[in-house]
Amino acid sequence: MCGIIAYSGKNGTNNSARELVEGLKKMEYRGYDSWGVAVATDQGIFLERKTGPISRLNKNPQKALPFGIGHTRWATHGGVTENNAHPHVSSDGRFVVVQNGIVENFLELKKVLQKKGYKFVTQTDTEVIVHLVHWELEKLNKEQELDKKSKISSPLSSTSSKSKLSIEKIFREAVRATFLQLSGRNTFVALDRKTESIVAIRQGSPLVIGKSDKEVFLASDTLPLLGKVPEIVYVDDDQLVEIKGLSLQMFSAKTGKEVKIKTQKLSQEVSKIDKDGFDHFMIKEIYEQQHTVTEAVSYSEEEFLPLIKELKKAEKIYTIGAGTAAFAAGQIARFLREAGYSAYELIAYDAESYIPIITKKDVVIAVSQSGETADTLEVVKVLKKKKVPLASIVNMMNSTLTRMSDYQFFSRSGPEICVASTKAYTAQVVWGYVLVQTMMGNYRKAQREVHELSTQLQEYFQQKKYQKVIKKLAQKLVKEEHVFVLGKSQHMYTSLEGALKIKEITYKHFEGFSAGELKHGVIALVEKGTYVFGIVGGSTKEKQETLNALAEVKARGAKVVGIASEPHEFFDVHLFAPDSNGLDPITKIIPFQLLSYYLALELKNDPDKPRNLAKSVTVK
């Protein structure tokens, strides 16, 4: 949710604008309503902002200095306009600000600032940060001025007066004082032309520093840093970073005291961030699942054991996630229940009522692609305070969630760039399956099954005939407005995830629910010609129950699409998906992923960047 970038290079270089735009392109999945860059120049600050996808700058900054900041926006406050795009410039043109987060007390602060005479020219909450920094700067400058005067008039008072602050420190302190007045989760960066410094504070949304002997970067994630810098520094909540040229300092944003910088090597073993010949990241990532399912479980039995020990002694196990990750968390909880454990899934954005009943005798498993989802982090933070042991399965390395976790696992799927999650979901489910099977003493069997699954997926993707049927169905669905997806037991989550995938990138109303729910109300919506999908998989009983539900809708004129390994007389369209025992939720989700992709293409939607969405939901 919004991508931030800052760049500071060696004196004499003038590639800041190029570096910023290049970096933003790699973070475009974080928000693509508008974007902008600001670069320091000999004359002041060059600023260009645009709506729509990240492209090229209209102009190149003249006499550019080697530092600047940039932003790609997912709009929260204020419409998608060039004027609301970041960076936002101070009224005196001295500094610019980019922000990722929401200033929750923005209206309150705005009123105060308006009374002080500040004119608001955008609808954003970010603008309060800009004016507040300006106000704090003025205040500190005045204090310094008074101090100077009192020293001149009374040289004897010099020992008792405050020491003179450098202009860099004044700017840093103004940014810090601003931060202390904001409520909500706010990460923001300010570039000051006067001091030639960049000051950033992290609270909530992630921020990472990349360093080499030629340049320093600040970014919302490591993707723009890959191949550029050997070392990174993760910025923690409430930390302030000051960059001037190649020098870097970190402070506590709460106390102003300097903190030690903990540098680490940036692992470059991340898959390339290009489409590898595919038309879109989504289809590339769908295909990648034939390999990522095995990567997700490339843990030895010993590596699972510490968590298993904790889970076995737990009174209750809770899994938690949001959106797609919540469905994966649901599937994992189901695996645990089937294995005889008291496990419950929590939906992160609605978990509040569970918090009082979760104790340190329980264990929480948090599921997340990014490890930065605000809804999930908020619950987990409270539970950590209650000393509840925390395990996580996360795709992005070194995320906030991972760093908070007592048991850290990675889904190792490589960057998932398409906003709609595909390979991260299947990786999370497969990981949960192997974890639970290992708890039951079946580690080897589970690993074998995952390798068989990988082969099944390879064969599936090779057979173009399956995708031909999906493409044909996509053409038929172009005019449909409401489609229902039925799944039973283990496929209830598949139906929810399948429907979500299609909603996200086709903007069509697909609704997933348990086949059992049909007779309790939903069947009222079925009329002649309504498309109803049925996921026919799992045990004979599960298959039969879904088929019964399909018979009932068929009797009312529905057009039935069966996702199954075998054709059936009830199916008007049969989408083949192999059976895969415990891993059936994986093979059965693939046709939905492909259908959502091909239907989006039919509708001329960009599958990688669905409207209104962003990849990493770092605001509440």
Summarize as ranges the residues that interact with ligand F6R (CB under 6 A). 322-325, 368-370, 373, 376, 420-421, 504, 616-617
Q: Tell me the sheet residues that pair with 188.
A: 99, 201
Write down the least CB distance from residue 319 to ligand F6R, Å: 13
Determine the residue with CB nearest ligand F6R.
Answer: 323
Angstrom distance (rounded) from CA 33 to CA 525: 35
Q: Which is nearer to ligand F6R, 29 or 531 (CB)?
A: 29
CB 151 within 8 A of CB 164: no
Would you name the residues annotated as active-site residues? Answer: 2, 615
Write down the least CB distance from residue 574 to ligand F6R, Å: 26
Torsion of CA 286, 412, 510, 565, to 10 degrees: 60
If one counts every other C-beta atom within 10 angstroms of the C-beta of residue 471, the result is 17
Phi and psi for 613 in degrees, rounded to 5? -105, 165
Q: Which of 190, 227, 229 is nearest to 211 (CA)?
A: 229
CB 295 within 8 A of CB 262: no
Q: Which of 276, 270, 297 is nearest to 454 (CA)?
A: 297
Phi and psi for 247 in degrees, rounded to 5? -90, 145
Q: Which is nearer to ligand F6R, 195 or 373 (CB)?
A: 373
Q: Residue 56's Cα: distance from chain center in Å?
A: 25
Q: Which of 378, 363, 281 is nearest to 322 (CA)?
A: 378
Angstrom distance (rounded) from CA 603 to CA 597: 10
Instruction: Kindly state the DSSP code that residue 124 receives in the 8-state scheme.
Output: -
Q: Which is nearer to ligand F6R, 49 or 423 (CB)?
A: 423
Phi and psi for 530 in degrees, rounded to 5? -65, 130
In 293-422, where do the E strands start and end?
317-321, 343-347, 363-368, 390-394, 407-410
Q: Which is nearer to ligand F6R, 327 or 460 (CB)?
A: 327
Q: Residue 194's Cα: distance from chain center in Å?
A: 34
Write down the least CB distance from residue 418 to ligand F6R, Å: 8
Long-range contacts of 114-117 (CB under 8 A, 24+ apart): none
Q: Which is nearer to ligand F6R, 329 or 532 (CB)?
A: 329
Write down the least CB distance from residue 408 to ligand F6R, Å: 15
Helix, strand, coil share of the chain (percent; to 5): 40, 20, 35
Q: Which of 166, 304, 306 is nearest to 242 (CA)?
A: 166
Angstrom distance (rounded) from CA 433 to CA 581: 11
Length of the chain: 620
Write down the least CB distance from residue 600 to ligand F6R, Å: 13
Write down the least CB distance from residue 593 to ligand F6R, Å: 10
Q: Which is nearer to ligand F6R, 39 or 617 (CB)?
A: 617
Q: Which is nearer to ligand F6R, 347 or 575 (CB)?
A: 347
Write down the least CB distance from residue 124 to ligand F6R, Å: 23
DSSP string, 125-170: SHHHHHHHHHHHHHHHHHHHHHHHHHHHH-GGGGGTSPPPPPHHHH
Q: Which is nearer to ligand F6R, 321 or 537 (CB)?
A: 321
Write down the least CB distance from residue 183 to ligand F6R, Å: 23
Q: Which is nearer to ligand F6R, 109 or 396 (CB)?
A: 396
Write down the least CB distance from residue 506 to ligand F6R, Å: 13
